[in-house]
Amino acid sequence: MSNTAKKPLLSAGTMTRIAILAAAASILFLLEIPIVAFYKLDLSNIPVLLGAFSMGTVPGLIILGLKSAIGLLHSSSAGVGELADFIMGAALLIPASMIYHRSKTRKNALAGMIAGTICTAIVGVLVNKFIMLPFYMGAFHMDMDKIVAFANVAGVDTEWKLLLMITGPFNLLKGAVLSVVTFLIYKPLSPILHGKAR
């Protein structure tokens, strides 16, 4: 019988970095910038991407999950918005992280984030179609015509126009902003993210 202790799935250092990045993501989650209609941009998935690139896909998902769980404490959507954010965040980080970790190069990081941005835009349309819009219709007793009118964007007069002309492009923009910022700051922060800072 071996007395060799099993190596923990996550080291103490990794768990510490996960906690710090989750806290940073949770703070950024509170800071929203109105863009178009009722869509707002937040930068909370930057720490998520940083964690996924530095530690792997699973730690990235843990950071994302912690951010969403903390968001439940001040949710204005009974957790539905946090669920949608988790799904779309996962759609961004999973392809970005998996492609990057095949070979950790700047080219792969860029390719991964482009793939993740496209995925999150597609998933964002589906999440809004089947989760967010039905929730708002039920919560605020509004039919689709009223929601489209509330969006108040010229030329958008149907649900699919709302999804394809606003939701999709908004999530492309959001993914692009998150990717560019992550791409620019990952290398300078790499020693800290890998626990090698002195």
**Do the domain assignments include residue 23?**
yes
Q: What is the pLDDT of residues 1-26, one digit of tens each?
A: 445 556 667 788 899 999 999 999 99
Q: Look at residue 34 and give its three-state secondary structure.
A: strand
Q: What per-residue confidence (pLDDT) applies to 130? A: 96
Distance CA 129, CA 152 (A): 18
**Do the domain assignments include residue 7?**
no
**Could you tell me the pLDDT band of residue 80, with boundaries at 50, 70 and 90?**
very high
Q: What per-residue confidence (pLDDT) applies to 106? A: 93
Q: What per-residue confidence (pLDDT) applies to 74? A: 86
**Do the domain assignments include residue 123?**
yes
Q: What per-residue confidence (pLDDT) applies to 9? A: 73
For 51, the domain range is: 12-31+40-193
Q: What per-residue confidence (pLDDT) applies to 6? A: 62
Tell me how many domains the chain contains: 1
**Average pLDDT score over the chain:** 91
Unique residue bearing structure tokens 């990057």: 100
Supply the CATH number for residue 178's domain.
1.10.1760.20
Alpha helices in the chain (DSSP H): 12-29, 45-55, 57-71, 80-102, 106-127, 133-139, 144-151, 159-162, 168-193
φ, ψ at 41 (rounded to 5°): -95, 130
Q: What is the pLDDT of residues 115-170, one digit of tens each?
A: 999 999 999 999 999 999 999 899 888 899 989 888 888 889 999 999 999 999 99
**Do the domain assignments include residue 147?**
yes
The structure's pTM equals 0.90
**Do the domain assignments include residue 162?**
yes
**Do the domain assignments include residue 2?**
no
**Do the domain assignments include residue 3?**
no
Q: What per-residue confidence (pLDDT) applies to 140? A: 83
**Do the domain assignments include residue 171?**
yes
**Could you tell me the pLDDT band of residue 77, with boundaries at 50, 70 and 90?**
confident
The stretch 54-58 carries a mean pLDDT of: 95
